[in-house]
Structures are given as C-alpha cells and as structure tokens.
Amino acid sequence: MKVNLEKLAHCTAHLNEQLLEDTLYEVALTELQNDAPEHITMARALAAADGDTKQAALQYPQLRVVRLKAELKQYKKDARSKTVERSVKRISFEIGGLVKDVFDFIDPTTDSLKNKKTSFDKAFLWDDD
C-alpha cells in the first residue's frame, strides 16, 4: 500500500504534533491490518527484532511513524522549493522584459523602431518607407 503523501500532507497540515502522530500511527496500523506494510520499514523492524515477525509487527508502527514524518517533511520542503522556483521563473521573465524595454529606450535598435508605432504615427498614417 503506497501512501499518498500529497493527500496526507494536506489532511494533516492543520493538526498539532500529537494529532499528527496519532494519524500516522493509524496509517501504520492500517498497513499492518491490510498485510501491506511498507517494505523498508518492515525490513528495519525485522532487523531490530532479530527476524522475529511477531516482534517486528510490534515495532513496525513506531518505525513507520518516524519514516512517515520524514517523508512528510521532505514533501513539504520539495513543495516549498517548487513554489519558490516557479516564483523566481515568473519574476525573472517579468524582469527580463523590463530590462529589454529599458535597453530599447536607452539605445533603440532599428528593428525595435520599425515594430513600434506611436499614437502620432497612427494618427497621421505615416508610411514605413
């Protein structure tokens, strides 16, 4: 059973630490009840229990909560990074256009002059020749 981190992060965003932990324990117990434990966590539980499956099942929820907290933290960090990256790209695009406009104003090239029509040009219908 693969946990949907996006949905889990969204559903637990408003919870305090205790309620978050309780929710994550519920996820871990549901995985065990459905015989679908997360493989890495179960491997750690088996290693800690020296291969005893009953002991591993007892240790699994605690280890799974630790892993889920780490996964949620990483998910939130990645989400923030993507938000910042999108903002930087948008700002860079806007600044790039502004810089071009400033340079065209300071030293207009013939191409930019040909493409720009002033209201004066349009009013008197001057030709491009």
pLDDT at 94: 64
pLDDT in tens, 3-14: 888 899 988 989
* Cα four-point dihedral sign 27, 29, 31, 33: negative
Residue ranges in the chain whose pLDDT is less than 50: none
Please state the domain count of the chain.
1
Residue ranges making up the domain that contains 14: 5-124
pLDDT at 1: 62
CA 14 to chain centre: 18
Task: Assess if residue 129 is contained within a domain.
Answer: no
Q: Are 45 and 13 in contact (CB under 8 A)?
A: no
pLDDT at 66: 96
pLDDT at 2: 81
